[in-house]
Amino acid sequence: MFVVIALVLVTVGTVLFHFLAPTIGWWWTPIASNWGYIDDTIIITFWVTGVVFVVVVLFMAYCIFRFRYQEGKRAAYQPENNKLELWLTGLTALGVVVMLTPGLFVWNQFVTVPEGADEFEVMAQQWQWSYRFPGKDGVMGTTSPRFIDDDNPFGLNPDDANGQDDVLIDDAELHLPLDRPVKVLLRSIDVLHDFYVPQFRAKMDMVPGTVTYFWFTPIRTGTFDVLCFELCGLGHHDMRGTVVVETQSEFEAWLGEYSTFAQSVAQAETGAENVLNLVSREVEAASVEKKSALMRLDSTVSHEIEVKRVFR
């Protein structure tokens, strides 16, 4: 009887926890994007798996109680029951269909980007985030790992005119405009990562060597955490950032604070030129000082020679 009671209590406790969890804060964060469909799909899955869980556990408790050992009774062996097997197969198939069908419709919406959606790129590397937005032409330039270096960390193609006005955000804080659909291009330059904002519900793995994507529409303003949802090494826990959803004018003001690819290249070239000029001046100064020292030495030696001649 102890096992029967334990199984019943587990079932009742699980059901109560499911319904009481939202009242104590053990539930999803409030949604901040258009992907309420994902919540609906998960709830359908909860209902299907929850009903199956309750039925199976209670059936186990019934069987343990009904067919417990009783002196003088023998178990009846029945190797097959075609009717029962048909019912179990049909109900299982129905449950799988009910769980998978909504997901297929949601997935189709998930990968079908609406026309006119804005674009931006998320670039991941151990253990930081950076972002790229198209410039005034609205088209982002091409990239390649072979172009990545200290002066071009995003790997933009320097010969692609479309990339010259791309705005580079070398910062963990991302800003997005409210109520505008955006296509998120995802790129990793080292290992697997996963760009995830819990309030947006949408996420996607970032695979080195390829560009993945998803889209969403921010529907409320606020500041939300950016997490890496794929184990990516020792610093995985610290690969965090923030995304700020704000009005269009605030977003444009924020974007205007950052340099374009062409400006960053020019700054890098100017910095390199300044370093070369500084080094050249230091070498020149050192040469002048060395020449002056040699002249002083020559003067001192000449004076000593003249003194020796006088006293001979």
Closest CA to 115 of 197, 202, 180, 210: 180
Taking the CA atoms of the chain, what radius of gyration do you get in angstroms? 35
Write down the pTM of the prediction: 0.73
> So what's the pLDDT on residue 267?
76
Strand locations in the chain (E): 118-125, 128-133, 167-169, 173-177, 182-188, 193-196, 203-206, 212-216, 222-228, 240-246
Q: Rounded to whole angstroms, what are the CA distances from 33 to 43, 98, 199, 200, 261?
A: 17, 25, 7, 5, 30
DSSP result, 3-27: HHHHHHHHHHHHHHHHHHGGGGT-S
pLDDT digit string (tens) for the chain, length 312 residues: 788 899 999 999 988 988 888 888 788 888 899 988 888 888 888 888 899 999 999 999 998 888 887 888 887 787 888 888 999 899 989 988 988 888 888 888 888 999 889 999 999 999 999 999 998 888 888 888 888 888 888 888 888 888 888 999 988 899 999 999 999 999 999 899 999 999 998 888 999 989 999 999 999 999 999 999 999 999 999 999 999 999 999 999 999 999 888 888 887 666 545 545 555 565 565 565 666 655 665 566 455 555 455 555
Residue written as token pair 């330059």: 189
